[in-house]
Chain A
Amino acid sequence: MMRCSKCGEESIIFLHYVRKHLCARHFIGMFEKRFRSTVREFGMLKKGDRVALGLSGGKDSTVLLHCLHDLQKDLPFELVAITIDEGIAGYRAATRKIAEKEADRLGIEHHVVSFKKDLGKTLDIILKTDQSRACSYCGVLRRGLLNRKARELGADKLAIGHNLDDIAQTVLMNIIRGEPSRSRRLLEPLITNEAFIPRIRPLLRTPEKEVAIFAMARDIKIDHRECPYAESALRQDVRRHLNELEEVHPGTKFKILSSFLKMENQSRNSKTQDAELETCFSCGEPCSGKRCKFCEMTSCI
């Protein structure tokens, strides 16, 4: 049996990037401390904020729900949860049920927005003839509905469960695509637009595997089902290569994040004003061009 580097109890994880074994108690403590220091260092929350959480019922958002709920004991802020039901047969119903159950268990106000009700069609119907851009459609429409609902609920911040793996993959993908500036969106509280609810990512320093282990160590129910729509080939490749690199060179994902933050810091210091968004001429939502992706997509479905 391997022993915790801190107390000698039975180890549940070996953190290769710091070469330490941790028992359940010390792992949970380290995880929560990192979550809280991330919230503090990035100025993600302040007293009295109304925070809407995008709660899919997957492991990341469910763990984030618990962490934010725990944080409320020390920092008074309001928390509401929003679940987007895209209408994916054999997948979303199970995670939606977890979202409903967990929000109810913690006494958190919970809202469900469905593609079917709001867009008139489920994602399954939208993709019936062409599944090649499944994740683009789903991502744009889901983000659009989340922003609208969060605004309708009077939220100051929109919390999402992106973890370190998601961030490292996105940074690399944007470099590979030749669009490095798109990564700025990962630090959205800097962007100013009344209609856009700033997004916060309190798990951005947390490796995805640790999210799953935290959930298991704390007996938080998670679903191990995979979305039936394959992700973009590029993200799948980047994920695989990153995980292989991490195995050989532990800490790679953290280093990608810290390099990105350093570059952002340098570029921000050389600018005099924050980035601004345009307003879509069609629906009035914030966007980066003249017409938002949400309107572009809904006009085609």
Chain B
Amino acid sequence: MEVEDLNCFPQHLTMKLILDGRAKKVSHKGNLASLLKKLGVRREEVVVKVNGRLAPDTAEPEEKDTIEVITVIFGG
């Protein structure tokens, strides 16, 4: 296998995740929709901010971004 081939594998990026106020580090490569899926969060029930700004779930976060996931749909 040539060295360049290794670059074909997706490289995971490290980001800060704040899920309903609880912060942790995550490794992810892909868009926000796939991150939510990985976290087991339903896309329809949350709003996502990247570095404090509202972001569509099609956006691809970058290394060291802060991703805030806020649940906005629940009972009551």
A residues neighboring B (CB under 8 Å): 1-2, 10-14, 21, 24, 58-59, 91, 165, 207-209, 212-213, 216-217, 224, 226-231, 235-236, 239-240, 243-244, 246-247
A-B contact list, 21 entries, CB within 8 Å:
A1-B59, A2-B58, A2-B59, A10-B53, A11-B58, A11-B59, A12-B53, A12-B56, A14-B56, A209-B47, A209-B73, A213-B47, A224-B20, A224-B72, A226-B76, A227-B76, A228-B76, A243-B43, A243-B73, A244-B42, A247-B44
Give the total of B residues in contact with A, Cβ under 8 Å: 21
Q: Which residues of chain B come closer than 8 Å to A227, judged between CB atoms?
A: 75-76
The number of residue pairs between A and B whose CB atoms lie closer than 8 Å in the complex comes to: 73
B residues neighboring A (CB under 8 Å): 20, 42-47, 53-59, 70-76
Q: A240 contacts which of B20, B42, B55 (Cβ < 8 Å)?
A: B42
Whether the pair B54, A224 counts as a contact (CB closer than 8 A) is no
Whether the pair B76, A14 counts as a contact (CB closer than 8 A) is no
Q: A208 contacts which of B43, B56, B72 (Cβ < 8 Å)?
A: B72
Minimum Cβ distance to chain A for residue B33 (Å):
9
Q: Which residues of chain A come closer than 8 Å to B43, judged between CB atoms?
A: 243, 247
Q: Which 3 A-B pairs have the closest CB atoms?
A: A227-B76, A231-B75, A212-B72
Minimum Cβ distance to chain B for residue A85 (Å):
14
Minimum Cβ distance to chain B for residue A2 (Å):
5
Instruction: Give A212 to B73 CA distance when docked, in angstroms.
Output: 9
Q: Specify the chain B residue showing the minimal Cβ separation from A213.
A: B47
Minimum Cβ distance to chain A for residue B27 (Å):
22
